[in-house]
Amino acid sequence: MTEHRAQVSDTANDETGQLTSGRVAQRRRTRKAIVEASMTLLERGIEPSVNDIAAAADVSRRTVYLHFPTLDQLMLDATIGLLSANTDAALAHIHSDDPRVRIAELVRAMGAQITDLLPMGRRLVRLTVDPAPTAEDAPRRDYLRVRWIEWALDPLRGRISRQHFDDLVSSVALAVGWGAFIVLIDVRGLEPDTAVEVCARTASTLVDAALRALDEPR
């Protein structure tokens, strides 16, 4: 009898675990569907409302708000998704081990089609400066840009200290991204393509300085 009860208990635990896992997976699928629907609407040039997004994702308004407490938070995630859609693919074709080349190509990949994407870049900066509350399962803001910069600088790992590596990532982050592009376009009055090249040269110069420091006698 005791053995039978233990088997029943184990079965119940397994079923509970499967139900919990299933709910988590469903939640992720629903969140992804909401973000992708928002991306599609933005790509069509539509400034979507929650009603528009709910209809496109085939969910209720309540479900949208369960995943995204504010429309701005959802728009931020959707905008990041659109702006980064081609960057990972572009980086996959970069095979250089020179961090100066890698960082310059990263900037150019992020700035590809910059004229068409400029309105979304402005949205991204606005929403990042005035961030909405973050859901528990939402990714950290701007985590993709940091990940990309760390990928570009990866050949320097082990050659410089962890602190110097982190400081270099922080320094390069000032020159890489939509904030930098828009400063050069709006404040300096540069053409968008020129702004991208200035950012690429600046980021490469920062990396070059780190490489020169390696060659200096201690």
The domain segmentation of the chain, as residue ranges, is 1-67, 74-218
pLDDT range class, residue 174, cuts 50, 70, 90:
very high
Contact criterion met (CB below 8 Å) for 84 and 144 = yes
Contacts of 198 (CB under 8 A, 6+ apart): 184, 190
Residue-wise pLDDT for 43-64, tens only, equals 888 889 999 999 999 999 999 9
Contact criterion met (CB below 8 Å) for 34 and 51 = no
Model-level pTM greater than 0.75?
Answer: no
Residue-wise pLDDT for 89-103, tens only, equals 888 888 899 999 999
Among residues 121, 105, 104, the alpha carbon closest in space to that of 178 is found at 121
